[in-house]
Amino acid sequence: GFSKQMVEILQKHGVAFSTFDIFSDEEVRQGLKALSSWPTYPQLYVAGELIGGLDIVKELEASGELDTICPKGQKLEDRLKSLINKAPVMLFMKGNKQMAKCGFSKQIIEIMNNTGVDYETFDILEDEEVRQGLKSFSNWPTYPQLYVRGELVGGLDIVKELKESGELLPVLKGEN
């Protein structure tokens, strides 16, 4: 319950954080208690320094200090814009170039590989926030999603149509 409360507070404040499951490693669990001289969990660290447990974090939240102590995460919209512009041709899919994890992704990878155009992939199965957020951001409910120079081209059906009409290569090269 305490860990859940801590995570909720950090999320509410848009703090960029990661977690470590202390039940996964008893040596770390006991060692951290000794190292930090803090007998309970959860423990919040910022830049390697112990801030405290849930009680301290609640006090910091109440005083408004939490926002000055903790690093903010990138806003989702900014993160999505950054990702779709990571490469001139960006494909959001289940899996990656080396291993598609669904039939639609496998089909689009085969089409893309046959164009000879360089492209990057992002595995939406590795990041639920991006997976859900990109659907709203692009107003496109399914995957894969193909972007050229930050603009949504479409999914597998659109890519197939462009290939059949001979327009895919010009679109990928930004000549449209």
> Domain segments of the chain: what residues?
2-69, 76-173
- What DSSP string runs through 41-103? S--EEETTEEEE-HHHHHHHHHHT-HHHHSPBPPPHHHHHHHHHTSSSEEEEESB-SS-BSSH
76-173 has the same fold as 2-69: yes
Q: What is the pLDDT along the chain (176 residues), one digit of tens a residue?
A: 999 999 999 988 888 888 999 999 999 999 999 999 999 999 999 988 999 999 999 999 999 999 888 877 667 888 899 999 999 999 999 999 999 999 999 999 999 999 999 999 999 999 888 999 999 899 999 999 999 999 999 999 999 999 999 999 999 998 86
The pTM for the full model equals 0.62
2-69, which class in CATH?
A: alpha beta
Token reading at 12: 């509410």
When the candidates are 3.30.2320.50, 1.20.810.10, 3.40.30.10, 3.40.50.1820, the CATH number that belongs to 76-173 is: 3.40.30.10
Token reading at 133: 């957020």
